[in-house]
Amino acid sequence: MPMKQYVTVEEIENGYRKLSEDESRLCDDLIAEASTLIDAYALSADEGIKKIVAKRMIRRAIASSGAGTVPFGSNGGTVSAMGYSQSFTMTGTVGEVYLSRAEKNMLGSKARIGFSSSLEEAKA
């Protein structure tokens, strides 16, 4: 069964910017990946919220793609020269689609604590 995709390339471009041909091809793959992650996390969430979350995830991944200057999936690194070195950490990983804490809350994880209780599930 084909997976539902919550946004189109055109919807990603609206309110953002016109994507290059390479970015448009990448965007198609990112849409599929984001939709899969959203459904795996919150299948029953509102479709409108899923659309907003997908747009945010994909735009973030495109913006952080690094244009080849930073390895895919990087979240930090070290620069050194002449006996000195400096380490840095980035807030997200480069070019990857992921759910931020705010997006998880939007999808309905506010009440999740990290485990499930069969006693609580029986009450629902």
Whether the model pTM is above 0.75: no
- State how far the alpha carbon of 55 is from the alpha carbons of 18, 20, 80, 100, 108, in Å: 14, 17, 37, 12, 17
User: Tens of pLDDT along 65-111?
Assistant: 655 555 555 566 777 888 888 876 655 555 688 898 899 999 986 65
pLDDT computed for residue 45 by the predictor: 92
- The SS3 assignment for 24 reads helix
* Domains of the chain, residue spans: 9-111
pLDDT in tens, 22-79: 899 999 999 999 999 999 999 999 999 999 999 999 998 888 765 555 555 556 677 7
Quick one: average pLDDT of 1-10?
Answer: 82
- Classify residue 83 by its DSSP letter: T
At 1 the pLDDT is 42
